[in-house]
């Protein structure tokens, strides 16, 4: 089974509308050269629609960075999965560590968001990953297993195949401290085993597991060469055309 590499840019709370459109236009031109790689960008929600419009006619898909689990109603400030598909989103990042740690999102909340995304036809990119102190305490796999079990509770095998898991060690995010390819591969292989134990080999072989945390155009190739690393979720290096294209280039 060959899994298509997915390189996704997480723009986080960055850029203006005009800078977003400029970045999208720049990527659109250069991304055409990579038919074997799935590419996505996840702008702030207010820019999802204009960026999706700018990327029309290209293979680059657009994702959101968060979603609420209810369909509609009195949930001031929240955005539903249906609203995201309605404005052209294909993916949505769920349970990013910044949301887990800064905004207190639990795996239970990540779970209902994952279900909502799947019901609306969005592809959830579900993030898991340990804190530095958890790695140092030797509990990485335990932490990731807890997040995996919680986040995917009640997800069917058919839906699981559509999901993307992003392994993002929190100590590597935005710090310049990238996990070594071996450290990444070890956790990715463990996550694939978790998928296999719950859903069987077929699903485990189909699910894409991205690495995230200080990925750049210099270190991407080595990490992406690992057998269980099926892509990258990129923060800082996704905000400019050339570094992001360099990462995509590292995938081929
Ligand atoms: P970074 O962020 O590439 O800036 O470390 C990755 C992420 O948080 O998804």
- For the chain, what percentages of helix, strand and coil (3-state, to nearest 5) are there? 45, 15, 40
Token pair belonging to 226: 């690992």
Residues tagged active-site: 96, 168
The SS3 assignment for 3 reads: coil
CB 160 within 8 A of CB 152: yes
* pLDDT tens-place string over residues 131-165: 999 999 999 999 999 999 999 999 999 999 999 99
The whole-chain average pLDDT of the chain stands at 97
Distance of CA 105 to the CA centre of its chain: 16
- Class (C level, CATH) for 5-251: alpha beta
pTM exceeding 0.85: yes
Domain residue ranges of the chain, discontinuous segments joined by +: 5-251
Confidence (pLDDT) at 2: 85
The CA 240 to ligand 1 mean position distance, Å, reads 14
Structure-derived torsion over alpha carbons of residues 208, 213, 215, 219, reported in degrees to the nearest 10: -100
* pLDDT tens-place string over residues 195-215: 999 999 999 999 999 999 999
**Rounded Cα distance, 107 and 125, in Å:** 14
Whether the per-residue pLDDT at 179 is higher than 90: the answer is yes
Which atom of ligand 1 has the smallest separation from the CA of 10?
A: 9
Q: What is the DSSP letter of 236?
A: G
* Cα dihedral 236, 238, 242, 245 sign: positive
């Amino acid at each position: 089974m060959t899994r298509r590499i997915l390189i996704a840019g997480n723009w986080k709370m960055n850029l203006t509308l005009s800078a977003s459109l400029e970045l999208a236009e720049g990527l659109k031109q250069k991304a055409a050269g990579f038919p074997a790689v799935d590419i996505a960008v996840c702008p702030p929600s207010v820019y999802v629609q204009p960026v999706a419009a700018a990327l029309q006619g290209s293979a680059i898909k657009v994702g959101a960075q968060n979603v609420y689990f209810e369909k509609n109603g009195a949930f001031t400030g929240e955005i539903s999965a249906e609203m995201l598909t309605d404005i052209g989103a294909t993916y949505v990042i769920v349970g990013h560590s910044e949301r887990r740690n800064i905004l207190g999102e639990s795996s239970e909340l990540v779970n209902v968001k994952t279900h909502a995304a799947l019901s609306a036809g969005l592809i959830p990119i579900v993030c898991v990953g340990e804190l530095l102190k958890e790695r140092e305490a030797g509990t990485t796999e335990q932490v990731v297993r807890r997040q995996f079990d919680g986040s995917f509770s009640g997800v069917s095998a058919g839906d699981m195949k559509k999901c993307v898991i992003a392994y993002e060690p929190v100590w590597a995010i935005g710090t310049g401290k990238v996990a070594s390819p071996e450290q990444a591969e070890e956790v990715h292989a463990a996550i694939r085993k978790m998928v296999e134990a719950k859903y069987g080999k077929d699903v485990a072989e189909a699910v894409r597991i991205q690495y995230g945390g200080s990925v750049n155009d210099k270190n991407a190739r080595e990490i992406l060469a690992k057998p269980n690393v099926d892509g990258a979720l990129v923060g800082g290096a996704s905000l400019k055309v050339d570094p992001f294209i360099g990462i995509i280039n590292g995938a081929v």
